[in-house]
């Protein structure tokens, strides 16, 4: 499934990348409509993308997929049984203190991952891989907590990932992250409506 094939004579890809692509699109759409089934698609897509990124020597992103699988299990539980009433958590906003923690966590994880990639791998994209890996971890955590601002982070991260994947000749995945950025905008608007409805309820 990792053999290279041409898609419509325009893009070199593989069956594995195509399957990962389809599952990832389904996952984001299910996140937008706040379906807990999104986490099942997230785990499956992450497992397949770990192989794709290993082949491309994007090791930070490869390792990130395994973290996504673990976090997805927790996110699935939170969306189904989280909250004080055990009926699932609701959309919320990030406080000023929360933003400070996000920035600090991103910086610390970036420094750690970049050091590991430079020391133990043969990657040629240690810093960009580490920066986006760290940001993805933070954004994924916010998503599991149904924090509105996860979409702001994903929009920025997805756009930056396009450049990384083009550099690695993962053209279909670059297209996927372009779609992710668009869907993240849709998700942001959808969750804003949900939050507005919640805040207007007496």
* Domains contained in the chain, number: 1
d(CA 26, CA 30): 6
Alpha-carbon separation of residue 148 from 84, 93, 142, 187, 201 (angstroms): 19, 5, 8, 9, 18
In a domain, residue 2? The reply is: no
pLDDT at 167 over 60: yes
At residue 202, the pLDDT reads: 62
In a domain, residue 190? The reply is: yes
Would you place residue 21 in the very low, low, confident or very high pLDDT band (cuts 50, 70, 90)? confident
In a domain, residue 82? The reply is: yes
Enter the pTM of the model.
0.84
In a domain, residue 193? The reply is: yes
Q: Which stretch of DSSP H or E encloses residue 36?
A: none
In a domain, residue 73? The reply is: yes
Query: Residue 74 is part of which domain span?
Result: 11-200
At residue 176, the pLDDT reads: 84
Mean pLDDT of the residues in the chain: 88
Would you place residue 108 in the very low, low, confident or very high pLDDT band (cuts 50, 70, 90)? very high
In a domain, residue 26? The reply is: yes
Cα R_g (the chain), whole angstroms? 17
- Residue with more model confidence, 7 or 52: 52
pLDDT at 145 over 80: yes
At residue 66, the pLDDT reads: 93
């Amino acid at each position: 499934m990792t053999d290279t094939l041409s898609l419509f004579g325009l893009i070199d890809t593989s069956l594995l990348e195509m399957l990962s692509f389809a599952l990832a699109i389904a996952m984001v759409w299910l996140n937008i409509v706040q379906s807990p089934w999104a986490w099942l698609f997230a785990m499956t897509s992450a497992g397949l993308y770990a192989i794709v990124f290993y082949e491309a020597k994007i090791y930070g992103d490869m390792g990130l997929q395994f973290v996504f699988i673990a976090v997805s299990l927790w996110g699935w539980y939170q969306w189904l049984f989280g909250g004080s009433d055990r009926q699932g958590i609701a959309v919320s906003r990030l406080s000023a203190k929360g933003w400070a923690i996000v920035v600090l966590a991103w910086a610390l994880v970036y420094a750690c991952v970049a050091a590991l990639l430079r020391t133990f791998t043969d990657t040629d994209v240690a810093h960009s891989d580490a920066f986006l890996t760290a940001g993805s971890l933070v954004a994924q955590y916010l998503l599991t907590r149904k924090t509105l601002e996860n979409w702001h982070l994903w929009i920025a991260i997805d756009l930056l990932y396009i450049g990384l994947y083009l550099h690695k000749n993962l053209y279909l995945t670059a297209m996927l992250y372009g779609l992710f950025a668009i869907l993240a905008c849709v998700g942001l608007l959808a969750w804003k409506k949900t939050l507005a409805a919640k805040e207007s309820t007496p």
